[in-house]
Structure 1
């Protein structure tokens, strides 16, 4: 019997004919909680985090989970309990971090469009640092901090113009991207920040993109950032920490990104050679910690043969799994119960009324209506980007720990969606 590629192994594996997550059979979870259903492996998250921790052994490093990848409270709790800080990009994400009892001083606030209200709330909470992304933001943040009688801790996000060799929609470190300050203007921007009365310069930040599967873009970005640190400190502005962002890719379709510990071993060698090995470092991994830890379970509703295409219509849709529609992203799709038989090529599509509502194209499957499928590598940028398009409720979420399954989000109802709405009298 053909064994499909299973990203996330060994925490996802077939035992006999059934697909398991840790010690729980996924089909049992689908029957108890219904579909679509997100299921996450706690052990997979901890294993991914451990690779970073091994790579940083003996170093002064703060790992800040980039929670935009997956922001459910049960997921955040795993990383908070492991001692992680958090990288946030909105006031709402700050509230989630505080709700799980994480330390505010381990929070980094990134993002190009922070509002005055978000700045104020973050300052009052006592966050560790703002990653500032424009000169205009420096001015506004200084004003907000002074009005509170405070000085805001800042680092400036540098756009190093390094090609991360990834999808253009998730590239963030090129001149044409909206993120960060151009590296040619970084020194002047730091000098301005050091002279603003409401700011306290504490670091420098760089993040070049997401789903990066090669080492060279990281090495190029590191060299550019360290060149800037040389120039900034020579101009009299000390840098306490260096934040190298995140972006390390995962295995979606037999991709082979470097392991986190191997990548950072090489990066730290470069850092040591440049004389910065004893600096306080920060990183912001997201996808690489949770992407392969999650799956979305879905039921086959109908099989629809066609002259040019065969369609496998499932109950998960682009509102549940937006990455294929947004980025033409690939997710492995495998049965929860394997059985022999001839496979047929299907486009796996959802019920949403958009031609872009597809989960996978040209997939060889042996399926019938009522069968259950797992969309793999769905732990990052799936549930966190889910919507209510077509008034579809967001899926339930389950966190598995060994042989225990914990419901961490109940399925959303139409009543939940309409709760804040009202008719006009």
Structure 2
């Protein structure tokens, strides 16, 4: 369900006209509708709560503090992949004992940070990672809860860049090696092996791959128990998709029935890690038309939002519906146009030959379903400051990330002394490593 609807001919987020936000905040701006986040969470929680499944929101989808806080107050935990996300999750109100630390490349400092915070568990993706966590746990005097993330070699049937459960992906421990990895975890004195985890990819519309992955996960639980090991937790991952092109996404009641069928008889505590499902439909990118350029071969609608603001089309060839904020007349003549941004890259193209109603310089448009993997992937390429972010709740809205300025960008950089007329001795002359002075 989306919180973006036309009212009196103007696209609204909940009860706020997007034109009002553009007038007060400017463009490009990410706009999030609280109602959609809340409705999506409630729908998933209602389907899974009878099974005792806990929801850990995957912060990588959208880590704005306001979005995290909205979900935390609904009861969500957090699935994190960095020490920075741990700090964000806790700052927004997620208790550390409701946080799972995933990811293939945890550092010693991040492990120590998470142990001291008291997180729920680490999802471990390799033998070397087990050894690292054991060493760090010994150094801080805290025994670490670990779950082995296994790679079930299941093709999620999604985009190659967001599939994570095949043998040729970097994620997880091969299923054939999982028993040996568990034995290794048991042998390490500072680890407490508690369970297994799996995540096969993102943007799954078909539930069939989940069935295959969960069957293999359940078989592994039974095999480990047959060897005398105690397996008490299962993290079933995330990946539930949304209908970017208007297609019907997976039914959460069907997903809950699948979970019940495949793993509920194991007696494990269960967790899932949705991200996109909760926030994608809740967000849009609000942008303004800079120019309409009629070339000899194509018509271009040039926007003030670029690939640095919304990377997904350039990175994944992903589809986002683009709609005018002012509703087109029913008899408006539709013409194909390429929708592009101002970045100095041909890849800065959001859509080709997209059928659009008439648009003119200064008109506002919105990219729908942009609440996930949008602002979090933003960059400052071409020295373009990061876009603003706004959260709407009913008939009120607030700026939840001010628009970055060029001055903000420059304040993070330093010109070295030998270029700025200062002390020109070299780092090797002082015997000290080169460091920032700010």
TM-score (norm 2): 0.93
> 274, 277, 283: which is aligned to 1:285?
274
Structure 1 position 302 matched with structure 2 position 291 = yes
1:406 corresponds in structure 2 to 398
Distance 1:388 1:259 in 2: 38
Distance 1:291 1:170 in 2: 15
2:197 corresponds in structure 1 to 205
Superposition deviation, residue 360 in structure 1? 1.6
1:361 corresponds in structure 2 to 352
Superposition deviation, residue 13 in structure 1? 1.1
Who wins on radius of gyration, i.e. which is larger? 2
Distance 1:75 1:111 in 2: 22
Q: 1:57 to 1:150 in 2, by over 3 A?
A: closer
Superposition deviation, residue 57 in structure 1? 2.8
Distance 2:49 2:171 in 1: 31
Aligned partners of 1:310 and 1:345 also within 8 Å: yes
SS in 1 for 2:301: strand
1:105 corresponds in structure 2 to 97
> 325, 331, 342: which is aligned to 1:336?
325
Superposition deviation, residue 339 in structure 1? 2.8
Q: Which moved more, 1:63-72 or 1:253-262?
A: 253-262
SS in 2 for 1:47: helix
> 312, 319, 322: which is aligned to 1:323?
312
2:170 corresponds in structure 1 to 178
SS in 2 for 1:399: strand
Distance 2:155 2:234 in 1: 20
> 339, 346, 356: which is aligned to 1:348?
339
Deviations 1:13-71 (A, max 9, x none): 11231111111111111111000010001110011111111112332221000000000
Distance 1:139 1:271 in 2: 29
Distance 1:89 1:352 in 2: 29
Alignment of 1:4-403 (within 5 A): 8-9=1-2, 11-272=3-264, 275-276=265-266, 278-340=267-329, 341-365=332-356, 366-403=358-395
Superposition deviation, residue 414 in structure 1? 1.0
Aligned partners of 1:51 and 1:259 also within 8 Å: no
Distance 2:183 2:57 in 1: 29
Superposition deviation, residue 317 in structure 1? 0.4
Deviations 1:159-204 (A, max 9, x none): 0000100000000000110000000111110111011111101111
TM-score (norm 1): 0.96
Deviations 1:117-148 (A, max 9, x none): 10011101111100000111001110010111
Superposition deviation, residue 251 in structure 1? 1.1
SS in 2 for 1:57: helix
Superposition deviation, residue 157 in structure 1? 0.5
Aligned partners of 2:239 and 2:276 also within 8 Å: yes
Aligned partners of 2:198 and 2:236 also within 8 Å: yes
Aligned partners of 2:218 and 2:262 also within 8 Å: no
Deviations 1:323-353 (A, max 9, x none): 0000000000000002333222111000001
Superposition deviation, residue 424 in structure 1? 1.6
Superposition deviation, residue 83 in structure 1? 1.3
SS in 2 for 1:108: strand
Instruction: State how many pairs are aligned.
Output: 414
Superposition deviation, residue 258 in structure 1? 1.3
SS in 2 for 1:398: strand
Aligned partners of 1:60 and 1:279 also within 8 Å: no
Distance 1:219 1:262 in 2: 11
Distance 2:191 2:409 in 1: 41
Distance 2:4 2:230 in 1: 47
Superposition deviation, residue 359 in structure 1? 1.4
Superposition deviation, residue 254 in structure 1? 1.5
Distance 1:260 1:86 in 2: 20
Distance 1:68 1:19 in 2: 28
Structure 1 moving runs of 4+ over 4 Å = none
SS in 2 for 1:190: helix
Superposition deviation, residue 420 in structure 1? 2.2
Superposition deviation, residue 380 in structure 1? 0.2
Superposition deviation, residue 94 in structure 1? 0.6
SS in 2 for 1:200: strand
Aligned partners of 2:203 and 2:239 also within 8 Å: yes
1:5 corresponds in structure 2 to none
Q: Which moved more, 1:401-410 or 1:333-342?
A: 333-342
Structure 2: gaps (5+ residues): 418-438
